[in-house]
Amino acid sequence: MQETDKIWMNGELVDWADAKVHVGTHALHYGSGVFEGIRCYETEKGPAVFRLRDHLERLENSAKVLYMDLPYAREELRQATHELIAANGLPSCYIRPVAYYGYGELGVATTGNPVDVVIMSFPWGAYLGEEGQRTGITTMVSTWERVGPNVIPHVAKATGIYLNSMLATTEARRAGYDEAIMLTRDGYVADGPGENIFVVKNGTLLTPPLSMSILPGITRDTVIHLARALGYMVEETLLIRTDLYLADEAFMVGTATEVAPIRAVDDREIGVGPITLELQQAYLDVVNGRDQRWSDWLDVVATSRTPAEV
């Protein structure tokens, strides 16, 4: 992680090295936090955050599931994000807001613990690697199944849930693969540890429904919109392991991942197909401000050189 100058912490910009929490913080012990992953892109109009309001709405929804009352309104967090990006002077960056139960009591219950809110911004390239974006990534079906919706609500982007993802990712990397694919207890395809999944079959895009205990991905929603605008059919449907093996194309999507082709699953070669590459390029055109049809998704940040867009 590349350090930047400032971090926004509970309403103030503090130096990177001074953004500290107590070892008794509730979230450190029990995973009681929620977060977002957001990207800001360099555009002709200046730094622009992609779908910032949608991400902050999901942060609120995640907090609600955890009985957490955020001490800041959505617009306050939006302005804080703008302030942080301008302070760090980054034309493009990754943004990580996190809200968590802080230092107070150490019991499992959250009673007596404040809700702290922090926003970080720092440079971050392609999550699964620049080479993977071009030539595709290798994946394996993990032995770790996706946690069920009545065990932990995966609809919430909660910190504790990502232990499930960490185990799957670590297993895949140790086995020599780029990423894992997780199944539900019933054997249906769910998602990756930090990505949603699409399969292309006979020119139609197939993706697991939200009922498979997957995060309602903002990049997933974006790709569905773009695919339909390009004339492709998109179906939310149940998929099994062999649907991955026999796919014409497959790819993963996420804010950090963007659009990453899957070239192999469990050592079955799929290759990188034209529809995946078309959607990858369409996505990059949108987030970088080159496709004005989707300009409402870009929240331009005011800097010393660029005015704000409301």
Q: Which positions are annotated as active-site residues?
A: 157
Contact 179, 128 (CB under 8 A): yes
Q: Of 283, 284, 271, which Cα lies nearest the Cα of 138? A: 271
With contact defined as beta carbons under 8 Å apart, do 199 and 244 qualify? Answer: yes
Q: Residue 170 belongs to what H/E stretch?
A: helix 162-174
Q: Single out the residue of 141, 143, 149 nearest to residue 180, CA to CA.
A: 141
- Decide if 222 contacts 286 (C-beta within 8 A): yes
Task: Please give the span between the terminal C-alpha atoms of the chain, in angstroms, as a whole number.
Answer: 31
Backbone torsion region of residue 240, taken as left when φ is above 0, otherwise alpha when ψ lies between -120 and 50, otherwise beta: beta
What are the Cα distances from residue 267, in Å, to 137, 168, 169, 239, 300?
11, 17, 17, 19, 43
In degrees, rounded to 5, the angle at the alpha carbon of residue 122 between the alpha carbons of residues 59 and 27 is 45
Q: How many CA atoms lie within 13 A of 195 on its CB side?
A: 27
